[in-house]
Amino acid sequence: MRRGEKPSADSVLLYESLVILEFIVDFFPDAGLLPADLVRRAKARLFMSIVEEKIPSDNGPTPALQMLETLQEMLPEGFVVGEWSIADAAFVPSLLFVNVFVKGGVGYWVKMEHGEKVKAELESPRLARLRRYVDEWKKRTNFNGKAAWDEEDIVIEKWLKRFAKNL
């Protein structure tokens, strides 16, 4: 479909990120987006399910930090199932934006009374494995060979400003 064209009558709107990730796996079966091993595939899907279930709403910093600690305990060294997969694609954006929100001082995780606690906990030994995981992911490159994530990118700044207005 080209820009400005209307979708065909038989098109389907997919809007849940996990459904879209699974669709991409089905559409590109040889892309290696899930491991060939069926047990590791199941582990990736289980992790994705837990991420979706555990990402908190506005419950304050304690449940959010407990959620991060729980997910951290599930991580082996390396990526979720050893090699990068859609399980990482489902999890990493949340982690990256938590860091952006904490550094930018925006969002429910960093309300004034909780901000310093969240920031200290994210930098503490308690979440060291999670930080290594994020650092490993940041080393990945996208399909153009560029860094997959750049916190200094102006797009992030614009996104943060837009997010802050909606609080």
Quote the tokens at residue 27.
């559409």
Confidence of residue 87 (pLDDT cuts 50, 70, 90): very high
pTM exceeding 0.75: no
The pLDDT of residue 139 is 81
Show the CA angle centred on residue 100, arms to residues 96 and 104, nearest 5°. 170
User: Are 72 and 129 a contacting pair, CB within 8 Å?
Assistant: yes
pLDDT: which is higher, 165 or 33: 33
The pLDDT of residue 164 is 60
**pLDDT tens-place string over residues 55-71:** 655 555 667 778 888 88
Q: 77 by DSSP, 3-state: which?
A: coil
Report the candidate in 149, 167, 29, 144 with the shortest Cα–Cα distance to residue 97.
Answer: 149
Domain residue ranges in the chain: 17-165
Q: 65 by DSSP, 3-state: which?
A: helix
